[in-house]
Amino acid sequence: MELIPIEKRTGLTREEFIENYLKPSRPVVFTDLMKDWPAINKWTFDWLRENHGQIDVPLVDNHVHDADKYFQTAKTMKFGDYLSLIEAGPTDLRLFLFDIFKKAPSLADDIIFPNIMDGFLKHYKFVFFGGQGAITNLHYDMDCSNVFLTQFHTRKQVILFSPEESARLYHHPFTVMSKVDPLNPDYERFPAMKGAVGYETTLLHGETIFIPSLWWHYIRYVDGGFSLALRANNSIFTAVRGGMNLVRHTFVDKSLTKLLGVDWQHWKEQKAVENAQHYMKEQA
């Protein structure tokens, strides 16, 4: 498996971005896209704890995709207590895909939607918090939007793979998930991973990574910290595909997980292996 560094750009214009990154579906890291956000310097751990620490937040852990705990909340805490927890050291508890703006509407005044492209979904703003060493497993976003993920204060490692690598990544059918670990690939169990080509970067404070629609991403919290994701859609076709994903997840995957439990999970794993083997035979 090969990991190629993701290009970092300063002063990237709208025209350059659209031609060189959006149209060819190519990731890039902006060093200054959100530099005018009040949030960049305002949203510190201390400020968030003092002003919004009373909010109750739902947390997930590393078992969020287990058949018996599928997408269930592992624990609920006061936001301020959770911030102190991730500042203190490693924990697998994560605040995942959380719309904090519904709980604290004034925070919306601290961000500005960029004009780097059209189609931003202004009602879908999500924050992600995690402790040192916490992992977001490899997946692509169910709604198939383009994602602009901005990091605050600490570091976050991001690994991306294009949609063309899906078979090599042992994509679980009826989901947007993979169980492979790109940091520690098990080539005996997942031999197709040997030929995979991915892209990697470590996001620093104020940097924003552009994750193109349908691209797989794996995230590791180098330090306890947080980021904010904005989403944009430039294609009706990906919007339709996102709707189909939602239907599959809600009416097929979740239903069969509830009905069959571990057996359904095992079937998906086996099918992913079969698809990868078929792919390798075609490539031989």
Contact partners, residue 46, CB within 8 Å, separation at least 6: none
**Phi, psi values for residue 155, rounded to 5°:** -115, 145
- Tokens 């330090």 correspond to 223
**In the block, which residue shows the tokens 């990697």?**
200
pLDDT at residue 202 above 80?
yes
Region 32-43 average pLDDT: 96
The mean predicted confidence, pLDDT, of the chain is 93
Nearest to 33 by CA among 160, 157, 151, 130: 151
Q: What is the DSSP letter of 112?
A: -
**Residue 115 sits in which domain range?**
2-283
For residue 270, CA distances in Å to 123, 131, 179, 232, 234 come to 38, 32, 12, 34, 35
- Could you tell me the pTM of the whole model? 0.94
Query: What is the biggest distance separating any 2 CA atoms in the chain, rounded to whole angstroms?
Result: 59
What confidence tens digit (pLDDT) does each residue in 4-15 have? Answer: 999 999 999 999
Report the pLDDT value the prediction gives residue 115, as an integer from 0 to 100.
Answer: 96
Q: State the pLDDT at residue 71.
A: 60
Which CATH number goes with the domain that contains 169?
Answer: 2.60.120.650
| CA geometry: angle 5, 241, 139, nearest 5 deg | 40
* Residue 58 C-beta-side C-alpha neighbours within 13 Å: 9
pLDDT digits (tens, 9 = 90+) for 51-61: 999 999 999 98
Q: How many residues does the chain have?
A: 284
Tokens representing 66?
Answer: 């287990």
How far is the C-alpha of 214 from the C-alpha of 233, rounded, in Å? 11
Q: Please give the angle made by the CA atoms of 8, 11 and 17, to the nearest 5 degrees.
A: 70
- What's the number of domains the chain is made of? 1
The encoded tokens of residue 54 equal: 């009373």
**What does the pLDDT read at residue 106?**
96
When pLDDT is averaged across residues 119-147 and rounded to a whole number, the result is 94
151: closest CA among 227, 218, 217? 227
Could you tell me the pLDDT band of residue 74, with boundaries at 50, 70 and 90? confident
Quote the pLDDT of residue 284: 75
User: Residues 206-241: pLDDT tens digits?
Assistant: 999 999 999 999 999 999 999 999 999 988 888 888
